Structure 1
């Protein structure tokens, strides 16, 4: 067992033993290191001003991903390389991304600029030419209210061409070697039994530690837990990080299903979900920004039990199973059975989510996923509907429908499903009783995102939209962004995973 964390910073190994359970990477950079180029804006992972790049070995080279330093716990960076805006220039020579921002007048007040530069640094290192879609997606988590995005996009188009020639690329082999050295097989435990940061290396170590400390907070990506710290000011004396556990972030295709480790990130899962259906992939793109998807996990989205978590309704509609572990014992249950009530899941004390099994679609099954939010990108759902239909000879023989935002948990629409059996999607007159089913299945609440009436009416509209598309209506008629565009974009993305 190790009582320190170690990471690579500006070419040097940093080893720390005085790491608080909830100390953030942003606080370390600004308060301890004095590296104040990384800014604190919203302090909740939304504005992108604090974006830094985190490097880790991937397929023999180094992969850089953007993260929000304000909600990344410092201990989570063990074994990684941390790159900030201060590190980019090579002496007096600006990094190509920085030079492009200067040449295209991409900065005014400059507060957001370091985060934008770091996001574009990761896009530059993606190793492929970035089109407008990729650039917009990269910048969706970076807010700028002075410059406007046109000159920033122009800067990105000029430099993110797929040709990577900076010193980080030249030193990649050496960096990978150092990070592989840092990535040992020891558990990390800093503190004592009353207050600690821990990062087990195996799932057995996690199971043992969590049995002994069932009051600890499990953290995977901290995209939610980070806000408990920065916004709710919660005291979390015991934190167990899941990101170092061997095998827990793996994604395995087993033919008719996909096995997802609980600490697999949204970014890594996205092409696999897109391969199930482009609607699933496009929904994943809207879960959050690049920064959020690089850190947030599918398992965390499920385990936190939010009624407006984006992935659970889709996973439920697909018939997914969740694997739970307590000590040496494991059990599996249908995902819809995991959610009991608001803030309450079928999870015993000391038991944790280990993974998920997500079925693929059969040849006669069809999936539709629609997310309704006030902002198109990076916003919390007011309502999310997921629909899987089995169709034989033009008739629905099975339906699985799940909604988020309609109840205290993600929930199936059992009455609605029953009323759709035997329905022909092409005959709208046969849909009538399905609408009555929605009123039986849900009694939604009104809140700041939507009223109960809006939610119920929109749920019906989404169901009708799914049936219209199932009947053969082209997506050009029913979509602002068509399935063809989403399909093409995510097929391209999948080729680079």
Structure 2
């Protein structure tokens, strides 16, 4: 049973298959066809919806999501808002009115998703008024593609939407809506995991670690899902049947963010959106990567634990975690254990997880004052694209020489991997051109990258060496002018 609210109206749907997406539920069961399917992979944003969840203060907090890759069962205890639910009769919502007046819609196919991204931004502005900067606007729309290339009027509409009267939907007048959703959410947390079973498969949503362990003991081959931003592609792109799913998004212990004197334990179900403030304060280079990591829709759902467990050789965050010497807390039917992340990736899509095990948390060491981290990503698009090559470089200074050098790469092998020979060439050395030439020579012998649609093996080898050279040039520029801390060597608004 899926029990949720849609545009202010309660919805209850039984016997929904485990691999049904929000988009499929909307279009085929509910007849709500305003939400469009574009790419069916979370890349274009045409299917964007807004999901409201209790904020703990008596209200609802909304986030944008790609309906095509969001499991329908994850709507339990939520308020789903679609483009059909924005106007107040004939009176348009401020976002819709601005899009009309600024001629922001061309063919119209992508328009519903764009409007829903802007609705979520408008809601955030309404709840916490703040200047709508170019950066915030770009971040909100970074996951929406307009195939008619009409971005200027869309941008104009975004910047003008707060000038319109706050014509809100009729459901927003309901004083009981937030409380009713909160009640549903509480009821869902009390439901037994078996309540997610259907005649066509199982979708269980355990609420605590003990229940998750037991489910994994019973069904070690079940698929775990948190944000679903990668797993659901097996359904939409590969047409696989996902009929045995355990949703870890609601497991309390996997949603914690625990600070210790040594660093932070990040629960495997913590989303990137929740992590951005932590990154901004303690790992600025990691936070800047978030500008290039997927889209707001994906960051609102995707988790650090999922990106690691997925074990993709081109995942954006594993190289950074390797450079930081992160550790993993694993758990399962046989108990808990802890390993360095460097021991987790064994081969292409193969990890150190034993049968029934899962990632419980990721440990991020607290950086020292002399610790340095740089992260650079090469991809075809600036936002919402997968890496061709990603490099994460970490080191500390010791009387002018580099110590504890960590050079980690994605896209250069079947797994995210460090470059120990190149690291040894830099360890204990001043960053001279000769030293970096030796490191680049060592790097060429450490990887045998593949050729695919994102780049040839030759391109990747040259690009990885050039990123090392970029580090050298940055260090040389910084050393010449002490006021240019972490100076960049090219003009790129997203190069950090």
TM range (shorter): over 0.9
Matched residue, 1:33: 30
Partner of 1:73: 71
Preserved CA contact (<8 Å) 1:123 1:160: no
Task: Report if aligned partners of 1:186, 1:201 keep a CA contact under 8 Å in 2.
Answer: no
Distance 1:332 1:162 in 2: 54
Q: Is the 8 A contact 2:53 2:61 kept in 1?
A: yes
In 2, the alpha carbon distance for the partners of 1:242 and 1:137 equals 27
SS in 2 for 1:398: strand
Question: Aligned pair count?
Answer: 481
- CA gap of 1:169–1:261, structure 2 versus 1, over 3 A, is farther
Preserved CA contact (<8 Å) 1:321 1:358:
yes
In 2, distance between residues paired with 1:335 and 1:114? 41
Contact 2:474/2:487 (<8 A) preserved: no
Counterpart-to-counterpart distance in 1, 2:405 and 2:304: 24
- 1: CA distance, partners of 2:426 / 2:200: 54
Q: Where does residue 382 of structure 1 map in the other structure?
A: 388
In structure 2, the residue matched to 1:491 is: none
Query: Does the 8 A contact of 2:88 with 2:170 survive in 1?
Result: no
Structure 2 match to 1:174: 176
SS at match of 2:429: coil
Partner of 1:480: 491
2:247 aligned partner: 241
Match of residue 20 from structure 2: 23
In structure 2, what is the equivalent of residue 122 of structure 1?
A: 120
1:442 is the counterpart of 2:442: no
Deviation string, structure 1 residues 393-451 (Cα, Å, up to 9, x no partner): 111122011100010000011111111112112x2222232122212321212222112
Q: Does 1:45 align with 2:42?
A: yes
Question: For each residue in 1:161-181, what CA deviation from the matched residue of structure 2 results, as whole angstroms up to 9, or x when unmatched?
Answer: 799773589558633322221
* Whole-angstrom CA distance in 2 between matches of 1:348 and 1:416: 32
TM-score by length of structure 2 reads 0.92
Shift of 1:251: 2.0
Corresponding residue to 1:210 among 216, 228, 234: 216
* 1:199 to 2:205 alignment: yes
Structure 2 residue 403 is matched with structure 1 residue 397: yes
What TM-score comes out, normalization by structure 1 length?
0.92
Match of 1:133 in 2: 135
Structure 1 residues 63, 192: closer, same or farther in 2, change over 3 A?
Answer: closer
In 2, distance between residues paired with 1:213 and 1:315?
A: 30
Counterpart residue number, 1:91: 89
* Distance (whole Å) between structure 1 residues aligned to residue 239 and residue 94 of structure 2: 39
For the residue of structure 2 that corresponds to 1:358, the secondary structure is strand
Which segment is superposed worse, 317-326 or 12-21?
Answer: 12-21
Aligned-partner Cα distance in 2 for 1:401–1:240:
35
Compared CA separation, residues 160 and 240, structure 1 to 2 (3 A): farther
Displacement of 1:360: 2.5
In the alignment, the residues of structure 1 paired with residue 92 and residue 385 of structure 2 have an alpha-carbon distance, to the nearest angstrom, of: 34
Q: Deviations along 1:228-285, whole A, 9 cap, x unmatched?
A: 0011011222011111112312223324412211111111112212222322112122
Instruction: Give the root-mean-square deviation of aligned CA atoms.
Output: 2.1
Correspondence 1:300 to 2:306 = yes
- CA distance in structure 2 between the aligned counterparts of 1:280 and 1:322, rounded to whole angstroms: 18
Contact in 2 for aligned 1:129/1:161 (Cα 8 Å): no
The change in CA–CA distance for 1:307 and 1:419 in structure 2 (over 3 A counts) is same
Matches within 5 A, 1:354-373: 354-373=360-379
Does the residue aligned with 2:300 lie in a helix, a strand or coil? helix
Q: Identify which of 453, 466, 472 aligns with 1:461.
A: 466
For residue 353 of structure 2, give the secondary structure of its aligned residue in structure 1.
Answer: coil
User: In 1, are the aligned partners of 2:392 and 2:407 still within 8 Å (CA)?
Assistant: yes
In structure 2, runs of 5+ residues without a counterpart are 479-483
Match of 1:419 among 414, 425, 446: 425
For 1:447 and 1:100, how far apart are their aligned partners in 2?
42
- Cα deviation, residue 328, structure 1: 5.4
Does the 8 Å CA contact 1:129/1:160 hold for their aligned counterparts? no
The change in CA–CA distance for 1:188 and 1:431 in structure 2 (over 3 A counts) is same
| 2:274 equivalent to 1:268 | yes
How far apart are the structure 1 equivalents of 2:346 and 2:390? Answer: 19
Give the superposition deviation at 1:306. 0.3
Corresponding residue number in structure 1 for 2:320: 314
Task: Kindly state the Cα deviation for residue 80 of structure 1 after the two structures are TM-superposed.
Answer: 1.1
Instruction: For residue 126 of structure 1, report the CA deviation from its aligned partner.
Output: 1.5
Conserved in 2, the CA contact under 8 Å of 1:124 and 1:164? no
Please name the residue that 1:494 is paired with. Answer: none
* Structure 1 residue 335, shift from structure 2 partner: 0.7
| 1:357-408 CA-partner distances (Å, limit 9, x unpaired) | 0113211110000000111111110000001011111111220111000100
1:428 is aligned to 433
Q: CA deviation at 1:145?
A: 2.4
Structure 2 residue aligned with 1:62? 60
Q: Greater shift after overlay, 257-266 or 403-412?
A: 257-266
2:408, 2:149 → 1: CA distance? 41
